[in-house]
Structure 1
Amino acid sequence: MVETKNSNNLLPISETLFIPLVARATETARDNPIISDEKSVEILKTINLDDKITDGGMISTLGILSRTKVIDDEVKRILSQDKNATIVNLGAGLDTRITRVDNGLLKWYDLDFPDVIKFRSQFFSENERIQTIPKSVLDTTWTEQIHFDKNSKVVIIAEGLLMYFSENDVSKILTLLAREFPRAHMFFDVVHSYFINKKISSTFLWGINNAKEIEKLHPAVELIQSWSAGNLLKERQPMILRLLNILPATKNRSQILHIQFKQ
């Protein structure tokens, strides 16, 4: 018998972790899905969720699927270059990427608030390669628990995370990462500044107008590549949204960035 997991004791900000889970599980059930995520399907079957929590809306769902696909592909690409890479997953939530990209050799760290890590542990097991860190990303001591080969690549993922922090806190996070993980690659999504402090599905605190602005937050940050939401999954976007993509705030409503920290 499958045990029903309790999600009622999570902090309000942690509730955002269920929206991506539902999006991935729902997509997996479609014909010709953009991503296949059986782990999300498995998790969703064991928990009772309020529809009001999990209904992110069409635009949010497209954004989740876009960033999931792009980051999956980029992590796999880096792993094809360095099978022993270390992956640091900030704000892990109920992310299931490890089940889609694990090559049996990488090291993987999932970091999130203690209550989230406790809830996550009901669905994922740790081993010598895959470990969890129950701390806030703003608690600078978490980096002490990351062990990596200086000759191997380090990849940092911050999916659906940084827009919930102030620009000052984002700058602090990048400063910490640049210091502790020189040459590391980082993948994360950002929202357009137009949506800051507007109550949409969530209240975002930080955003940028164009991808190059990220380099202003720290001198070690180098933008490698960016992907705009308006250019991704066009075949799934309704006509009105495709027409509105002529507006920068709509086209760049969400962007996925690949940066590298210069040594």
Structure 2
Amino acid sequence: MAHQTSPGQPEAKVKINLTGTAETLMGPLIARARDARMPQPVLGDMFAAQILDQLDYDIEKHQIDDPKATMHAARVVCLDKWTTEFLANNPECTVVYLACGLDSRLQRLQPDMSRVRWVDVDFLDVVQLRSSLIPTPEGDYSLIGSDVTEDGWLEQIPADRPTLVICQGLLMYLEEEPVKHLIQRLINHFKSGQILVDCVSTVMLSLQHQVETLNATGSTFKWGVDDPKTLESLHPQLRMVECLGAAELGGFSQMPLSTRLMMSTYSYLPWFRYLSSYSRFNF
């Protein structure tokens, strides 16, 4: 990790000064770190644990217990798997990770950076924090500080290769029109590739007062979709490849029986199957 101290000196913690939507990156980081320290982790992201150890932050306010950490880790495993498949099918490609936060996906997957162009994008204050905690990877790597709904940042990225766009933990925080505009801009710019998205449903919008990370940061979900396939209507090139509800992700064998039964029941109820969803689209 990037933060250094003098030999024999206690390591100084990095104070987190993020607020609002930017601060929500702490919830996933805490979940990945907690999963990594379990006897049988689902993801096993020790990079997350190392990053969290560097921070001066009240992690308890997010109220992330083992089951919640496991559920989040299963989501990340799904998106990591899809990313790995895209890299295998497109050895020379571009990966654009929007709202990257303090995620260590590049470090987990370790693609061949002599052939892969990897671009992480997030708010400027998040990028500054990330730079202080995570060493800059070797190879064709860029870290862009920008609100993804603003113009300008996208033109910095060449459109000369098949491109994977990862939108994890992003779209639900945007209004509907900015979501449409963003997806249309991405496809028009990159021409061909895949988009990975996670979404919440309109039911989840009404239940968001129960989401601890939102309560901890004062943030809100603003956009939900009940049938992720309807996203195909946002652009004529967009075609769904796969969509999974939370209960379909797998990796939950060590969760309490009551939680597993609840998730299994939800998978058969139309309104709850896609309470949260994980989809990949070709374009």
TM-score by length of 1: 0.90
Q: After superposition, what is the alpha-carbon deviation per residue over 1:142-173, rounded to whole angstroms, capped at 9, x for unaligned?
A: 1121135x2x3211001011001111110010
Aligned residue runs from structure 1 range 232-251, under 5 A = 232-233=249-250, 234-235=252-253, 236=255, 237-251=259-273
Q: Give the Å deviation of 1:177.
A: 0.6
Mapped contact 2:162–2:190 kept (Cα < 8 A):
no
1:207 aligned residue (201, 214, 224): 224
Q: Give the Å deviation of 1:27.
A: 0.8
Q: Which runs of 5+ in 1 are unaligned?
A: none
Distance in 2 separating the partners of 1:244 and 1:260: 27
1:70 aligned residue (78, 82, 87): 78
Q: 2:166 is matched with which residue? A: 157
Q: 2:132 is matched with which residue? A: 122
- Of structures 1 and 2, the one scoring higher in RCO (CA 8 A, sep 6+) is 2
Q: CA RMSD in A?
A: 2.0
Q: Give the Å deviation of 1:58.
A: 6.6
2:197 is aligned with 1:180: no
1:38 aligned residue (29, 33, 46): 46
Counterpart code for 2:126: V
2:234 is aligned with 1:225: no
Q: Which runs of 5+ in 2 are unaligned?
A: 6-10, 215-219
Q: After superposition, what is the alpha-carbon deviation per residue over 1:90-122, rounded to whole angstroms, capped at 9, x for unaligned?
A: 011111100011223221111111110011111
Report the secondary structure of 2:241's partner residue: strand
Q: After superposition, what is the alpha-carbon deviation per residue over 1:209-236, rounded to whole angstroms, capped at 9, x for unaligned?
A: 1221111223232111111112223533
Q: Choose 51-60 or 118-127, whichever is displaced more.
A: 51-60
Poorly superposed stretches of 4+, deviation over 6 Å: none
Report the secondary structure of 1:122's partner residue: helix
Q: After superposition, what is the alpha-carbon deviation per residue over 1:121-152, rounded to whole angstroms, capped at 9, x for unaligned?
A: 1122335512110001011211121135x2x3
Distance in 1 separating the partners of 2:247 and 2:227: 13
Mapped contact 2:144–2:153 kept (Cα < 8 A):
yes
Q: Give the Å deviation of 1:71.
A: 1.0
Distance in 1 separating the partners of 2:189 and 2:61: 36
Counterpart code for 1:30: M
Counterpart code for 2:127: I
Counterpart code for 1:76: T
Q: Choose 70-79 or 195-204, whichever is displaced more.
A: 195-204
Mapped contact 2:228–2:277 kept (Cα < 8 A):
yes
Q: Choose 165-174 or 208-217, whichever is displaced more.
A: 208-217
Q: Give the Å deviation of 1:48.
A: 2.1
Distance in 2 separating the partners of 1:249 and 1:205: 18
Q: Choose 218-227 or 164-173, whichever is displaced more.
A: 218-227
Q: 1:255 is matched with which residue? A: 277
Mapped contact 2:21–2:173 kept (Cα < 8 A):
no
Mapped contact 2:242–2:281 kept (Cα < 8 A):
yes
Q: Give the Å deviation of 1:59.
A: 6.9
State the identity as a percent: 26
Q: Give the Å deviation of 1:188.
A: 1.2
Paired residues in the alignment total 258
Counterpart code for 2:271: A
Aligned residue runs from structure 1 range 100-139, under 5 A = 100-105=108-113, 106-126=116-136, 127-139=138-150
1:14 aligned residue (8, 22, 25): 22
Distance in 1 separating the partners of 2:185 and 2:20: 26
* Residues 1:137 and 1:63: Cα distance change in structure 2 (over 3 Å): farther
TM-score by length of 2: 0.84
2:151 is aligned with 1:140: yes
Q: After superposition, what is the alpha-carbon deviation per residue over 1:180-239, rounded to whole angstroms, capped at 9, x for unaligned?
A: 011121111001121225423232111111221111223232111111112223533433
Distance in 2 separating the partners of 1:244 and 1:71: 21
